[in-house]
Structure 1
């Protein structure tokens, strides 16, 4: 089920309070920006959007707040070789499609995927898996049309 920006904001705001993260004006604007963003912004994208509301906010402040949200598992990251880290707050179970031509990223919703580690072959005794990701790669419709 896709969540609305308003419900994402309330979820983030309440989760910050539950984790002892004070709702400063800077953090509040960042939460609103993250909640209203449908894509996968970089830290620089987030700084630009927060500065549209709070022009004097520093890059370091925005980055520090984003990292606190990541550590609190309230914001996810999308890390790809050769690209800036991208962030997202989509709480719905999903994966990503990355266009190998333009680099754009889209959320992909796959029917129930059940990941079970084959412990006999994986040799992961004592490991704790925090998350799993599926990344689909190909060429998006726009790039295919241009080709």
Structure 2
């Protein structure tokens, strides 16, 4: 993370007012788009539930959330709470989250960009799934990644 200013690409009006509510509605009905889920996490200041659509990344059987827009509100809330829920329809999967160190991120960012690069590539400043590990490490601090652990018997 840049010591002066963390990387944040705030969503525009269309995303906030149209795309995210539309995705939330689809998630409540049980429809995920390309692995998307509804993240619910306790607000770090208000204590109230906060929701955001996220893409659930699975690598080698492990589950991750990647923040393509950088250090946004859900990342601060998840970091503070250490736990949340992923929802799709009636299925709600509680989890605990551990933030991934920057050194581990190149493989995960490559997998994320390989799956959703067309959707989120603009947020990665020219880095793609084909970028070198060195290029991916250069942007790693700008994109929080959380590894999720689910309770026994639950699945995302």
Q: Which TM-score applies when normalising by structure 1?
A: 0.28
Q: Which TM-score applies when normalising by structure 2?
A: 0.27
Structure 1 or 2: more strand by fraction:
2
